[in-house]
Chain A
Amino acid sequence: MHKRAPAFCSAARPGASGFCTRCLFRRARMPRPASPSIPEKEFLYSSLKQSLRLDGRNLLEMRAPTLTFGPELGWVECALGKTRVIAQVDAKMVKPPPERPLEGIISIHSELSPMASSEYDSGRPSDEEVTITRMLDKVLRRSDVVDKESLCVLAGQRVWHLRLTIHCLADAGNMLDCACLAGVVALRHFRRPEVEVVGDEVTIHHPSERAPVPLSMHHTPYCLTFAYFPETSILPVLDPSHLEETLSAGLLSIALNAQRELCVVQKAGGVPLAPDEILRIVGIAVDKAKELDKTVEERLKEDWAGRTVEVR
């Protein structure tokens, strides 16, 4: 019997009866989530063939994102229908690593707990989880959203370390887009304290003393996911719901900004598509990103107008 708590028992050594052979912890029947029933599947496919979606949207219509800002700067809750994600940014001053003395640090932590959906296991990261974390990393960090050099306060001595935490609260389909949107809006919403450097002395001014400054950002990417279905007569669907996602035969995720720059295009396997079809989808994504950008800008402006920043 091993001494680790049952939750950490890998349960990967199940005996014939489903008990872990080492600690007699009964493995919950986790590995394969219940797949949709045959009638459900047929119903979805036949309605999609008539260009109808179960939630009444058009094929290429996103669920309207709801952005709620918290009392603190850099706290955003983003909801796409019933999919909900919270993103939070905080900054602290650290010493930069010697190989990059002139750049700030950005780290992304994503928490996909079984709370979001019973499909996420708390043990080893599943394939979807790896995909989501890697995509967040590519969209929000590797595409140079935040100007890292602007986060440097004193070369080699002091830089800002931005920590973006993403909590997935509920998964009702298309968690990736929701998480990316929450993350990028949180970065836009965040303001870091003003600093003053005199010689080697660094003074951080409390937000009540001096107005905090927004991060200097190169661009604002948005992620859009399209789902493909095994039958070729069904057209692709934007922002798939959970059922659509599970019954799809491939996802194509495109991250791009309103300036028509692609940051990430990811189509890993799934149904093979004609090159023209992919270019058509990219064209659609360009328009959708512009619309999304407009709504996000409006919401950010609204929120900022409603805030009183005290400066003594």
Chain B
Amino acid sequence: MSSRVEILNDGGYRSDGRRQYELRDIDIDLSQQGTADGCCTITHGLTQVLVTVFGPKEAKMRSQTLHDRAVINVEMNVLPFSTGERRRRARADRRILELAATIKSTFEPVVQTTLYPRSQIDIFVQVLQQDGGLLHACINATTLALISAGIPMTDFVCAVSGGVHSTSPLLDLTTLEENDLPHMTVAVMPRTGKVTLVALETRLHVDRFADIFRLAGDAGQALHKEMKRAVKSRATRLVGAMETGMKPPMGGADAFERDVVMEDKMSF
């Protein structure tokens, strides 16, 4: 069925026209969503994930609080229209619970939870569309949402998926490729170059593993640049907006002029 599609053709192109090591288009949107303290919508090709972060705030359940650090709570929801065939998944689906647990344990050592004792950080992950690389999109979105919430972290966490087609490694797989190839997700912390997460679920020879593993690590570094750029541009915008708002009040004829200046500056 699906194996009729050529994964990698003789010219070195993949089914969606990418090269072997080419990542899909990344779109990062850090704009405000409702009352969330931080949020991020990330789009890797046709995979789209929205993460909202609430907190740090006082913990809801007293029994769950820790006296020396904050508790991270991850809830994940896969929307029924996110895949090709529409189907409603139970919230207690083991696969989703596992993904949520993976996200939680990935971020626990990275977020400086000790700064917020007896409190709670809620992370809500909504999967809007999926086309392969679900875990890596969720992790990247969570990193950015935590950053936009202003929660101190020791480093970014950048995740990329990789696979291998006979002997040639590929990066950032789509569903089509994931169904046919052995694949894995690797999350790196770019500053130290260390790996926080490795998830391989399909059979793969040890020798091939090392290739993809190193490649995905390097791709994580490239992704880091993109993520950092998004954070910086968002921060510059916010600072810009703050500057215009904080201009010292001027009287008389200047007041009229100020309005014009503000409008100029507000149109980004």
Contact = CB atoms under 8 A, between A and B. Distances in A.
Contacts of A131: 98, 101
B128 interface: no
A200 B1 CA distance: 28
Given A125-B97, A250-B109, 20 more contacts: A31-B63, A127-B104, A130-B94, A134-B95, A137-B94, A249-B109, A261-B203, A262-B204, A264-B201, A267-B196, A267-B197, A268-B105, A269-B102, A269-B104, A269-B108, A270-B196, A272-B195, A272-B196, A275-B217, A282-B209
Most B CB within 10 A of own CB, among A31, A249, A270: A270
Most B CB within 10 A of own CB, among A138, A267, A279: A267
A272 B194 contact: yes
Interface string A147-189: 0000000000000000000000000000000000000000000
Nearest to B217: A275
Contact of A274 (B95, B195, B197): B195
A285 B63 CA distance: 40
Shortest beta-carbon contacts, A-B, top 3: A269-B105, A272-B194, A265-B200
20 contacts: A131-B98, A133-B94, A143-B202, A143-B203, A261-B205, A262-B200, A262-B206, A262-B209, A264-B200, A264-B201, A265-B209, A266-B199, A266-B200, A267-B195, A267-B199, A269-B104, A269-B105, A272-B194, A275-B194, A282-B209
A80 interface: no
Contacts, number: 104
A40 B241 CA distance: 55
Contacts of A125: 97
Interface residues on A, range: 35 or more
Contacts of B192: 272
A286 to B, nearest CB: 6
A274 B217 CA distance: 10
Contact of A270 (B64, B94, B105, B210): B105
Interface residues of B, number: 37
A14 B109 CA distance: 30
Contact of A144 (B104, B184, B203): B203
A279 B213 contact: yes
Interface in B69-96: 94-95
Nearest to B184: A265
Contacts of A274: 193-195
Interface string A252-288: 1000100011111111111111110011001100100
A81 to B, nearest CB: 26
B206 A282 contact: yes
A278 B213 contact: yes
Contact of B198 (A130, A133, A143, A278): A278
B233 to A, nearest CB: 27
Contacts of B106: 268-269
Nearest to A219: B203
A269 B206 contact: no
Interface string A113-144: 00000000000010100110110011000111
Nearest to B192: A272
B125 to A, nearest CB: 15
